[in-house]
Chains A and B, each alone.
Chain A
Amino acid sequence: MASRTLGEQAARPPEWLALVMDHLHRIFGLAVKEVQQLSRDRLLLAFLIIGPLLELLLMGSLSGGGVENLPLAVIDQDRTRASRGLIARLDRTDELRVARYGRDVEEARDWMRNGDVAAIAVVPPQYGAALADPKRTADVQVIADGSHHIVSTVALGTVEDVAAQIARDLASADPRTSKGPVDLRFVARFNAAMEDQPHAITAMLGMIVFQVALVVAAQSIAREREMGTLEQLRVTPLGRLDLMVGKALPTLAIGIVDFLMMMGVIALWFDIPMRGSLPLLTLLTVPFVLVQIGWGTLISLVSRTQQQAMLFVFALAMLEVAFSGFLVPAGNMPPVMEIISYVSSVQHYLVIVRGVALRGAGLNVLWLPGTALVALSLVLTILAWLRLRMGLDSDSLRQRLTPAWRRFRCWLKDVCHRGRGRKDVTQREWTREPVEP
């Protein structure tokens, strides 16, 4: 029966199917034109395909190791075996290295102002004696460079960690020394060695996919507009939705190809395991790229030149980075900011990437950020479509806006007159009163 209906359709296709085929044909034509235009600029094509890979390789190898080898100044006022042991332990950590030995704090503070040291550790006199005596506590002072918040957090944390190690060693050697009544045992899930690289690399992956998709989408219509070829496109039978879909398809393809290639580099070069399912992650990358296409289309519809589009792109990119929680853990925000932060797609995507790739999560845990991405892409597409409907050349926009503006001005004048009138009356009444008596 199915074959019979198919045969009938082939003989006389219904109207809607012909319409759909017609649209698909136009969209395909536009997509082919876009690809041809992109491949004509060889350098641009290379930037779009090879650029992300190179950037990820370079940035991943250069940074992403976290905070390492912070220069530390040590002021040893004790000069015993115990104090030298503490200094050697500090030097042995990944985070710190003993760069200088100082005589007093003033000298070390000058080094810090120059940027030569990031932290100062002062080992007090009688440090060794205090360690040997279970009733006493040795106070080690640590001064960290507060002008760089991550440096100070890491430096203080590392010294506290070393102190805890020494306390543990002393306790196991001498039963009289106490570990204290409460002993915290830490277990790091998903990344037992607490390496920084997976976190940084996934952030780079998200940001690179984001920037490539956004730039291609933002410049595609802005370019046609600046060159004046958009008017030619608008007189073809291409509809508004056709135009948007045709422009979006090549961008989507570039985004997904870049994503897959970078995932390959992450697995093979950086040796970061893939704990979840790659198809799921690829599936969730599609709405993420669609959100960027939505932003890009919207940007290229509101900007008149490519320069403006680029400035919008960069401003948006900065905000996305801020909200993504990459610079500063931006987790605990007041409710208003929390709601605004839901607009940030990078934030949702990083939860998804880290969830699937590093923590092995499935859709049952990640449905919330996934839904947020899909909803965002829908809203942005509708907004872009509405903007396209309003007309792109400044005249048509003015035609639509002028009557509304005139009406608003009339209303404003009305309100002002009424307000002034009343004020005049009260003023007259007010001035009359003191004259009368």
Chain B
Amino acid sequence: MSLKRLTSILVKEYRHILREPRTLWMVFLSPAFVLIALSMVFTSGTSRVDLAVWDQDHSALSRRFIRTLSSDADFSTRRVSDYEEIESSLIGRSVDAGVIIPPGFGDGVKDGGTSSIQVILDGVDTLVAGQATGSLLGHAADFGAQLSRQYLVPPPPIRIKPQSAYLPRTSDRDSMVSGLIPIVFSLPVIAAALALAREREKGTLETLVATPVRGLEYIGGKLIAYVTASLVGLLPVWLTASLLFGVPFRGSPIVFLLLTVDFLLASVGLALVIGNLVRSQQAATVLSLFVFFVPAFFLSGLTDPIDTTDVLSTIFSYVMPSTHFVTICRGLFLKGASLVELWRPSLMLFGLSVGWTALGTLVFKKDIT
């Protein structure tokens, strides 16, 4: 291991990045750009439930129920007059649920009894269906409370008082923006995989093998070059999250910086393993997308939390660096956790950075001989 040879590889890599203004722009600024674009989508959407309402009763009470629904900010209502229309709007996804008020609804309530309302949910999109169920149940309970005062019906036996720690319940944007930071950093990381594959594709690797540069120096140079280049991109990402979208940062900035370096080491290490396995840049792109794109959304705990009781899926989730960094980012930004409280993901990340880099070097050495 010679420091001089390592530096010369490092200088060569920086020249590759700096030579093309467009590559430079993409490595430094693309994470922030993608974060802005993604967050714009999330900030603009509201969690409103679109309803198709079919009133078969046409009584004063059913009209009152529909009026309270339309004045509620959680719902937007549309009147329909047959079942077919509800079904086709559900299929075309123009509404989230259908509400049918049967004939005799008003009379049933007036007698002090219970009247039922039918709700047709779209069972395919379970997240939206759950949201619609919750909002409608809450709304019906409020409406029922109004009526029970009027008709002297006893109150319900259990009431749930929900409270959301760290955030008000409606602010899923903060949770999303902080969780997306690891995902947007896959952009410069994959660039490292392609940088390695390009040398092989163009044949410049053979030239390098002929020089006294050793495997560890070569991999180390690439690793340091791309980790530092991505680290520069952290500043715009951080500014975007904090200033543009107002996501609170409650942890320690130094801990965040340290753990980001750790995360980038692990990710670039994984990218270098990919770059070593393939012979062409095209194959490197395909494999990187398979590893970094779909699993990033389904396995990292960004949306569905990891089910730790399932051993196999836990293993696959834990070897991905982004899984741990999602936990770390949310912990530092929203929960104000310290390094002591984040010891588990930090340690895992450290292990992964050592493991993936070692594997990358190992695979590379084998290939040269």
Interface string of B156-185 (1 = CB under 8 A from A): 111111111111110110111011000110
How many interface contacts (CB-CB < 8 Å) are there between A and B? 410
**In the complex the two chains form, is B282's CB within 8 Å of A306's CB?**
yes
B304-324 interface with A by 8 A CB criterion: 304-305, 307-310, 312-313, 316-317
Name the residue among B88, B91, B131, B172 with the largest chain A CB count within 10 angstroms: B91
Which B residues touch A151, using CB under 8 A? 305
Partner of A331, one of B45, B141, B160, B165: B45
| Residue B187 CB within 8 A of the other chain | yes
Which A residues touch B276, using CB under 8 A? none
Closest chain A CB from B280 CB (angstroms): 6
Dominant secondary structure of chain B at its interface with chain A? helix
Closest chain B CB from A369 CB (angstroms): 8
| Residue A78 CB within 8 A of the other chain | no
Report Cα–Cα, A322/B47, bound state, in Å: 15
The residue in chain B whose Cβ has the minimal distance to the Cβ of A132 is B157
**In the complex the two chains form, is A337's CB within 8 Å of B44's CB?**
yes
Partner of B119, one of A66, A131, A185, A200: A185
B129-165 interface with A by 8 A CB criterion: 129-131, 133-134, 136-137, 140-141, 143-145, 147-148, 151, 153-165
Report Cα–Cα, A205/B160, bound state, in Å: 38
**In the complex the two chains form, is B160's CB within 8 Å of A180's CB?**
no
| Residue A223 CB within 8 A of the other chain | yes
**In the complex the two chains form, is B123's CB within 8 Å of A194's CB?**
yes
**In the complex the two chains form, is A365's CB within 8 Å of B175's CB?**
no
**In the complex the two chains form, is B286's CB within 8 Å of A332's CB?**
no
Which A residues touch B125, using CB under 8 A? 199, 329, 354
Which A residues touch B305, using CB under 8 A? 67, 70, 118, 148, 150-151
**In the complex the two chains form, is B143's CB within 8 Å of A311's CB?**
no
| Residue B367 CB within 8 A of the other chain | no
Report Cα–Cα, A165/B27, bound state, in Å: 53
Report Cα–Cα, A51/B133, bound state, in Å: 38
List 8 A-B pairs, Cβ < 8 Å. Answer: A146-B334, A167-B156, A178-B114, A178-B155, A204-B298, A307-B194, A329-B45, A332-B50
Known: A179-B114, A200-B298, A211-B290. 6 other contacts (CB 8 A): A71-B308, A140-B159, A146-B167, A182-B117, A318-B183, A328-B176
Interface residues of B (CB under 8 A from A): 20, 22-23, 26-27, 30, 33-34, 37-38, 40-42, 44-48, 50, 65, 76, 87-88, 90-93, 96, 109, 113-131, 133-134, 136-137, 140-141, 143-145, 147-148, 151, 153-169, 171-172, 174-176, 178-179, 183-184, 186-187, 190-191, 194-195, 198, 277-283, 285-290, 292-295, 297-299, 301-305, 307-310, 312-313, 316-317, 327, 330-331, 333-335, 337, 341, 344
